[in-house]
Structure 1
Amino acid sequence: MDFVAEFLAQNRAFGDTVAVIDEAASVPTCPGWTVKQLFRHVGRGNLWAAQMVAERATAPADPAKVPGGRPPGDPEGDRAWLDAGARLLVDAVNEVLTEDGPEAMVWTFWGPRPAPWWIRRRLHELLVHRADAAAAGGFDFEARPELAADCIDEWLDSAVRMVPDLPFRVHLHATDYPGEMGEWMIGGGTWTHTHGTAELGLRGPVRDLLLVVTGRRPVAETDIEVFGDESLLPTWRAGMKF
């Protein structure tokens, strides 16, 4: 997957979605947020990541102090601000790769990682927040199976760290993304692409699995089938937040 191209495409898609929604509309999947706040959060997040990559940061920057961290406040200016922030991150990563090589590290939530780590992180941040924007606008949310599956991978890399002592296993099976890459076994602070038996199983379209894993939609509002002990769902879903 070309993560840079996907990142820029998702940034455009997020901007397109937000552009046709009232900025004062509430975001049901992000309680307490308006579309305006969601937009600022996403755009500032890109600038925040770009700043840390450009500075080869060894500690997190303060998001509230990111240069240019507020959109101008008019539709054309806001869109240009969003697009420019995404481009700044891509340019910062390319600069690090050119000047320092692929092994150059920058700060991330989980310790030093190569600079391109931030492209994939922001790609999937955008994908999930596009789902939030779609919910605010009453639109359907779609994502290619390959992209949705990689988003689950990336989300689980972080989320399983939040529940290292999960006392049961969870198996996810994507019905529209065949092979081991469409199966996830979760438990014990880790996950693998493995088929097997678990105390709790979820089977359905990979887009629906993504929305459930990221807490964007309850299982009852998807085409997911649940197997095993359904009473474990609330505990598992609460642990998937990060």
Structure 2
Amino acid sequence: MRDGEEAEAFIAAHATIARPALVPEIPLYLATEITPIWQATEAWLGEQGIEPPFWAFAWPGSQALARWILDTPSLVAGKRVLDFAAGGGLAAIAAARAGATFVEAAEIDPLAHAATRLNARLNGVSIVEVPGDVVGAPNRWDTVLAGDVCYEAPMTSHILPWLRGLAAAGAEVILADPGRAYVPRDGLEAVARFRVPVTRELEDRDEREVVLSRITP
């Protein structure tokens, strides 16, 4: 991976500032189509077969989390918040704008961290980066936001025991699920629902219902 400034320059050159449909208050650097940004990322990195550039899109789970937080700032005001698998940092930015005292964004993709830095500056907030795989870290947060993370079986089996452990350690862990196949069927308490406009290129439909659930220990 190239240095952070090069990564930010790449994102600024290949994404445009846009506003997510459900959270127009928060502008982000976003891509309009997945194939061009994916191909451009592979060319820039000099690698083939990389993971999709999740940072380049405002996924429905993150949009629902951000909307929920902005509509009810008391959920995070004065708290320590983690945006897990943050992508471009949408939920983290919403938490910072809602008055969280300390906000971290965890991602394994350095380009996602670059996107979060750009997006945070665009919105005038401060987000702390947590690079690498944070799964297994002891709890240091009051609230953990996990948007759209149960899209593959290995991912779900890797993260879910840790998220449940954080809940047992006293964190409020909120899982945002837009109907992915591997979301757990037990140990969840629904707290909100949102209908999020999406694109057919990414979701093969025009709208997703996102359920926000509290993970029980």
Larger Rg: 1
Query: What is the TM-score normalised by the length of structure 2?
Result: 0.29
Q: Which has the higher strand share?
A: 2
Q: Which has the higher helix share?
A: 1
Query: What is the TM-score normalised by the length of structure 1?
Result: 0.27
